[in-house]
Structure 1
Amino acid sequence: MFRKAVFLLCLAIGCCGLAPAALADAGELRARHEQLQEQLRNNPYGRTLHIVSTEEPERLTGDVFAVLDHPFARVSTALQDPAHWCDILLLPFNTKYCHAVEGTNGPGLRVRIGRKFDQPLEQAYRIDFGWNKVAAQPDYFESRLVAPQGPVGTRDYRISVAAVPLERGKTFLRLTYSYGYGLTGRLAMQAYLGTVGADKVGFSVVGKESDGQPQYIGGVRGAIERNAMRYYLAIDSYLDSLTVPPAQQLERRIQGWFDATERYPRQLREMDRATYVAMKRLEHERQQTVID
C-alpha cells in the first residue's frame, strides 16, 4: 500500500520518469478555441485573450487562453528547450534566477523567487522544477514544469503550456498555472492579503463599483490571475524577441514585457521601468552561471 501511494504521488508531480498525460489533444484544444470565440473577441484586455481562475480546497489555478501572433512552429520550437524557459521565467519581476540543469530524472530548472531589487540570492526562495515535453506533434504541442515544493508552505507547482496552429500564421495557446497549499501556505496568503496585497486585484470582472467602473476579483483568485498573466506575457514577449537579431533579443524581451504589463497598471505595476530594466539586465548576467 505504501509503495502504491508513493507511486501515485510520483505520477502526480511527474517525478517517476514517466511522461505525464497530456491535458488535451489537438481536437480538444481547437474545440476550446471555438467555444471561447466571444470571450476572445470581446474583452477588456486589448488582446485576443481570456482568463479563468478557480479556487479548490488547498489548490489555486489560473488559466490563460490566448491567440498568439506567432506561427505554431516558432512557439513549439521555442518552448521545447528548457533554457528558453529560463529566458521566459526570468522576465517577471520576482524571479531572481533561473538556470536549466540536467537531473537524474531528466531536464529541469533551478529557480529562485524573491521581491527586492537588491535582495541577495541566498535570501530568495529556491524552487526546483522538473521539465517535461508532454507532446510534440505537427498540430499539437504541450510542455510542463512541475515542482513538489514551493515557498512558505506551498507545494505541487505546475506550469503547463499547450498550443495548436491556427490560420494566417497564428497559434492558440492555453497556459495553466497552479499550486497547492496547506495550513502554513494559507496563513501566509492571509497575511499577504491583509497587508501589502490588500488592494491588489485580478482580471476577472465580478460586478460594478459605485461609480460604474468594473469591480475586479480580489483575494487569492486575484493573485493567481496576476501570476498567470505575468507568465503569459513573458511567453509572448520572448516569442516576439525572436523576430529580431540575437544581439537585440534580451533588450527586446525585457522592454517588451514591461510595456505589456503597463497596459494593466492596477493589476501588474510593481516598479518603474528604470528599476526593472536594470534589475533584469543584472539577473540575466547571473543566469549564465550554475548556482546551488
Structure 2
Amino acid sequence: MWSIGELAERAGVTVKTVRFYSDGGLLPEGRRSAGGHRRYGPEALDRLRLIRSLRALDVPVTDVNRILDREDALEDVVADRLREVGSHLAALRWREAALRLIQDCAPHERAERLRLVGAVSSPPSTAALARFWRCWLPPRLPARVLSAVLERSVPQPPDDPSPAQVLAFARLHAFVTGDCLGGTTGCQPVVHRPDTGYRPAVLYDGLVEAFALAAPHLTAHRPPHEGEALDCFVDAHARASGAKDTPAFRRGLGRMLATEPRIDRYWQLTAELTGPSRPTAGACHDWLHTALDDRSARSAA
C-alpha cells in the first residue's frame, strides 16, 4: 500500500491531482493508516494512469467517470469527442479562410467583407437558408417533398473552404436575411398561389425528379435538349395544374415561366459555393426552361 505522495510519484502527477480525483470518487482508496492517512493499492495506480490518458485527450471529468463505471461507455465517449473536435476544426478552418479573405482584399473592400463575415457563425449554420425556403415555398407541403426540396436548394458549407467560398456563403446569408425580394407579397410564383388551382405538392415532387434527371446533362456540359428530363419537367407542371401535356400547354408553360419571379442571385452564389460538380436547382430549371423554349420554337417553325 502506498501513501498519497508515493502514488503521485509513481504516476508522475502532483499530490493535489491525486487528492482531487480521490475526493471526486474516481480513485478508490485502500484502508487508511493508523494515523488516518490515505493508502492506495496497485489498482489505484492503474486507474490513475487511465484517468490521465483520458484527460490528456480532453475528455471531461464527467465522461471519465462514465467510462470508469461502465467499460462499454468508452466507445460512445470517443465518438462524442470526435464529433466535437471535428466541429472545432471546421470552425478553425472557416475562421482561417475568413481571415485570409480580409487579408487579401483591397483596403476599400475590408469594411464590407468584415460586415458580411461577421454576420456568419463559425462553423456556419444553414438555418437562415432553410427559413428562407420555408417562406418562399407554398405552405403545407408534405414533409417528404419539403425535405427533398431543401436538400437540393440549401447548400452545405464545405469543411475546408477557400476564401472565395467564405465570401459566397456570407453573401448568400446576407441575401436570405435581407429584403431580397422586397417582401413575399406579390412576389410568389403563380404556382404558389392558392387561387390558381395548382397543386404545389405534386409540382415540387415532380420537379425534384426532373432536376435530378437534368443534372448529369449540365455536368457533362450538354446543351438543352428534348428527352426524359424535359418530359418529366413538363409532366410535373401538367399534373399539378390538371392539364395534359400538349404543344399548346408547352407554349403556355414557357410563357408563364418567363414571367415568374426569379431568385437568380441565390443560385449564382450557391454555384460559387458548391462548384460546378453539383449543378444547382436553379441551373437545372434554366436548362429545362431553355429546352422547353427550343422545343416550342421548333414546333412553331
User: TM-score normalised by the shorter chain: which range applies?
Assistant: under 0.3
More helix by share: 2
Q: TM-score, normalised by structure 1?
A: 0.24
Where relative contact order (Cα < 8 A, 6+ residues apart) is larger, the structure is 1
Q: TM-score, normalised by structure 2?
A: 0.24
